[in-house]
Amino acid sequence: MSTTDAFCGFCLTALLAASVAASAAGPDAEARGRYLVSVAGCNDCHTPNYMPTSGQVPEEQWLTGSELGFRGPWGTTYPPNLRLRVQGLSEAEWIALARQPMRPPMPWFNLREMSDADLGAIYHYLRGLGAAGQASPAYAPPGTAVATPYIDMTPRVADTAVATR
C-alpha cells in the first residue's frame, strides 16, 4: 500500500467516525451507562444519601439530585437532578452540557475527558431510568444564605499549626 492510500484510508475512517453523531440506544448502551455511572462516582453526589450509606440506595432514586449543598469560595452548589435534566435533551445536547465548565465540587474536567460513546451511554441510561424526583435547589452565590444543610468545603488551617502558634 502506498503512503497516499494509507493516508486516504485514515481519512475515510475519520470521516466515518465523525459522521456517527448518536450512539446506539438499547440495553447494551444502558448497561454500559449504568456501569460508568457506578464506577465514575456520579451517585456519590447526585444521589441523596449515597455516600453516607456506602451506596445502599435503591436504583429508583439514583441520580435524582441532592438538597445537600457544597459551600466554598464559589458559593453553594447543589448536584442537579440528572434524570430531570436529561429530559428533552438530544444526545448531542447532553454531550455538550457534560463538557461545559461547572462549579466545584463537580469534577467536570474529568467528565470532559469521557468519549462521546461513554457520555452517550450515560445519556441512554438516564433516559431509561426515566424522570423522577424534584429539581435540586438553585445555586447560591457567595454570601447568600441558604435554607438547606450544606457541607463546608472551605480550606482550614491545620489543627497542629494552630496548637503550636
Binding site for ligand HEC (CB under 6 A): 40-42, 44-46, 70, 77, 79-80, 82, 85, 97-98, 102-103, 105-107, 111, 122, 139
CB of 79 to ligand HEC, least distance (A): 4
Nearest C-alpha neighbor of 79 from the set 37, 35, 33, 128:
37
* 3-state SS string for 73-125: CCEEECCCCHHHHCCCCCHHHHHHHHCCCCCCCCCHHHHCCCCHHHHHHHHHH
CB-nearer residue toward ligand HEC: 25 or 36: 36
Give strand pairing partners of 71. 76, 152
Which C-beta is closer to ligand HEC: that of 9 or that of 41? 41
State in angstroms the smallest separation of the CB of 61 from ligand HEC.
16
Q: Which is nearer to ligand HEC, 60 or 93 (CB)?
A: 93
